[in-house]
Amino acid sequence: MQVPNSTSTANPFEPEVDQQVADELQGGADESRSFTLPSIVDIDVQDKMVIHLFAEGCLSCGHLIPDGNEEDYPKQSRCHFTAGNDHCPAKFISMVATGHLRQAAAKIAKARADGDSAKLISLIGKLDKLTETERNFVMNHSGLI
């Protein structure tokens, strides 16, 4: 299924795409680009994305949830796509918790908007504790980059 770069569609089976999300997915506002949803994702009649998992165990698999600890999210290799399972959701997606990163980005954006440079410097200093991917997420969502 092709998902257009448009912010509104008449077709109820194509999702309405937030322009900022579309731009992030496409690396910028390029009207000619689109992406294809993987076969494990469907759009239902209520315009929700439905992810079809191979098995219930996928919800606790470390391949699908890479930031989880190994004890709670052990990697199931026998059903992984590298073992020939074309239905493994980890072939197409990974799930990452970003609530704490979004909160950090909101605090940084507020400090910038308020002109509170001391608070901004303090918050930016805390970014060193994050991974590079997490740091980029916060900086991107706070408007720093």
| Each residue's pLDDT tens digit, 78-107 | 999 999 999 999 998 888 889 999 999 999
Q: Cα-Cα-Cα-Cα dihedral of 37, 42, 48, 51, to 10°? A: -90
Residue 1 or 131, more confident = 131
pLDDT at 42: 77
Question: Is pLDDT above 50 for 8?
Answer: no
Domain that holds residue 67: 57-93
% of the chain beyond a pLDDT of 90: 50
Question: Is pLDDT above 60 for 49?
Answer: yes
Question: Do 104 and 77 belong to one domain?
Answer: no
Number of domains in the chain: 3
Please tell me the distance from the alpha carbon of residue 78 to that of residue 95, in angstroms, as a whole number: 20
Question: Is pLDDT above 60 for 64?
Answer: yes
Question: Do 104 and 134 belong to one domain?
Answer: yes
pLDDT at 33: 65
Question: Do 61 and 85 belong to one domain?
Answer: yes
Question: Do 47 and 7 belong to one domain?
Answer: yes
Question: Could you tell me which residues are beta bridge partners of residue 35?
Answer: 3
For the segment 118-134, the average pLDDT, to the nearest whole number, is 93
pLDDT band, very low/low/confident/very high, at 66 (cuts 50, 70, 90): confident
Q: How far is CA 110 from the centre of its chain?
A: 23
- The residues, ordered by sequence, that sit 6+ positions from 130 with a Cβ below 8 Å of its Cβ are 101, 138
Question: Is pLDDT above 80 for 20?
Answer: no
- The residues, ordered by sequence, that sit 6+ positions from 26 with a Cβ below 8 Å of its Cβ are 5, 33, 34, 35
